Amino acid sequence: MKLKEIPQMTNNESQKSYRHWIIGILLLLIPFTVAVYAYWPQYYSFTTTGEIVPMEEIDVNGSVNFVYVQEGVTRNRYEKYSVGLRDSEAEFTKVDSSAEDDLSAMLDFEEDRRNETIHYAVDSASEVISSPIEQDRRDERLQQLIEETSNYYGDSIGLMLGIGLVEEAMQEDFSQDGTIIIAGTGTLEEDHTVGSVGAIRDKLRTAEAAGTDIFFVPKDKETFMYPGLSNEQEAELASKELDLKLQLVPVATLEEAISYLRQLPNPYIRSVNQP
Amino acid sequence: MKLKSETLSNVLKLLLWVLVGLACADLVSSIVYTASLDAFTAYIYDFYGFIEIVSSVLYYIAAVVYLIWIYCVHLDMNTLFPSFARSPGKSLACILIPVYNLFGIPSIYRMIGRWYLEDTGGAKKEGRWICSLALPLLLFMMLSNGLGRMVNQADELSGTMLLILSFVTLILYMIFLILCLQVSRGLHIARLEVLSRQSTAVNADDFEASPAGQPTATHQL
Alpha-carbon gap, residue B176 to B183, rounded angstroms: 10
A184-200 residue pLDDT tens: 999 999 999 999 998 89
CA angle, residues A186, A187, A191, in degrees to nearest 5: 125
Dihedral Cα B191, B197, B199, B204, nearest 10 deg? -170
Contact A31 B54 (CB under 8 A): yes
Residue-level pLDDT at B187: 95
SS3 labels along A182-236: EEECCEECCCCEEECCCCHHHHHHHHHHCCCCEEEEECCCCCCCCCCCCHHHHHH
A208-244 residue pLDDT tens: 999 999 999 999 998 898 889 999 999 999 999 999 9
Contact B14 A39 (CB under 8 A): no
B78-111 residue pLDDT tens: 999 988 989 999 999 999 999 999 999 999 999 9
Nearest CB to A39; choose among B50, B57, B217: B50
Residue-level pLDDT at A101: 83
Query: Strand A247-251 relative to strand A214-218: parallel, antiparallel, unpaired?
Result: parallel
Residue-level pLDDT at A131: 75
Contact B57 A20 (CB under 8 A): no
Task: Determine the distance in angstroms separating the CA of B115 from the nearest CA of chain A, rounded to an integer.
Answer: 27
Residue-level pLDDT at A266: 80
Residue A71 sits at φ, ψ, to 5 deg, of: -130, 150
Residue-level pLDDT at B212: 45
Residue-level pLDDT at B206: 58
Residue-level pLDDT at B208: 55
Alpha-carbon gap, residue B92 to A81, rounded angstroms: 34
User: With 80 as the cut, is the pLDDT of residue A92 above it?
Assistant: yes
The answer to whether A78 faces chain B, any CB pair under 8 Å, is yes
Listing DSSP states for B157-217 in one string gives --HHHHHHHHHHHHHHHHHHHHHHHHHHHHHHHHHHHHHHHHHHHHHHHHHHH-TTSS---
Using a 10 angstrom Cβ sphere, with 0-12 exposed, 13-18 middle and 19 or more buried, the burial of residue A177 is exposed
User: With 70 as the cut, is the pLDDT of residue B213 above it?
Assistant: no
ipTM: 0.84
Which chain A residue has its CA at the smallest distance from B50's CA? A35
Nearest CB to B53; choose among A16, A24, A34: A34
Contact A20 B217 (CB under 8 A): no
Alpha-carbon gap, residue A262 to A200, rounded angstroms: 25
Alpha-carbon gap, residue A18 to B10, rounded angstroms: 10
**Percentage with pLDDT > 70 across chain B:** 91
Alpha-carbon gap, residue A161 to A194, rounded angstroms: 12
Residue-level pLDDT at A16: 62
Residue-level pLDDT at A5: 43
Instruction: Provide the pLDDT confidence category of residue A105 given band limits of 50, 70 and 90.
Output: confident
The answer to whether A18 faces chain B, any CB pair under 8 Å, is no
Instruction: Provide the pLDDT confidence category of residue B196 given band limits of 50, 70 and 90.
Output: confident
Largest CA distance in chain B: 88
Instruction: Provide the pLDDT confidence category of residue A2 given band limits of 50, 70 and 90.
Output: very low
For residue B58, give the nearest of A20, A38, A29, A36 by alpha carbon. A29
Contact B11 A27 (CB under 8 A): yes
Does the domain at A41-262 match CATH 3.30.230? Answer given as: yes
Q: Can you tell me whether residue A41 is helix, strand or coil?
A: strand
Instruction: Provide the pLDDT confidence category of residue A14 given band limits of 50, 70 and 90.
Output: low
Nearest CB to A35; choose among B54, B61, B220: B54
Contact A20 B10 (CB under 8 A): yes
CA B160 to chain CA centroid, nearest Å: 29
Residue A20 sits at φ, ψ, to 5 deg, of: -65, -30
What is the arrangement of strands in the sheet containing A214-218, beginning at the earlier edge strand? A91-94, A41-54, A65-76, A182-184, A214-218, A247-251
More confident residue, A121 or A108: A121
Nearest CB to A24; choose among B15, B55, B57: B15
Which chain A residue has its CA at the smallest distance from B60's CA? A31
Domain chopping of chain A, boundaries: 41-262
Instruction: Provide the pLDDT confidence category of residue B52 given band limits of 50, 70 and 90.
Output: very high
Inter-chain CB pairs, A–B, below 8 Å: 54
Instruction: Provide the pLDDT confidence category of residue A275 given band limits of 50, 70 and 90.
Output: very low
Alpha-carbon gap, residue B48 to B56, rounded angstroms: 12
The answer to whether B46 faces chain A, any CB pair under 8 Å, is yes
Residues of chain A found within 8 Å of residue B10, distances taken between Cβ atoms: 20-21, 24
Region of residue A178 (left: phi > 0; alpha: psi -120 to 50; beta: else): left
The answer to whether A86 faces chain B, any CB pair under 8 Å, is no
Q: What average pLDDT does this structure show over A95-103?
A: 86
The answer to whether A41 faces chain B, any CB pair under 8 Å, is no
Angle between helix B159-209 and B100-119 (nearest 10): 40
Contact B54 A34 (CB under 8 A): yes
Contact A39 B221 (CB under 8 A): no
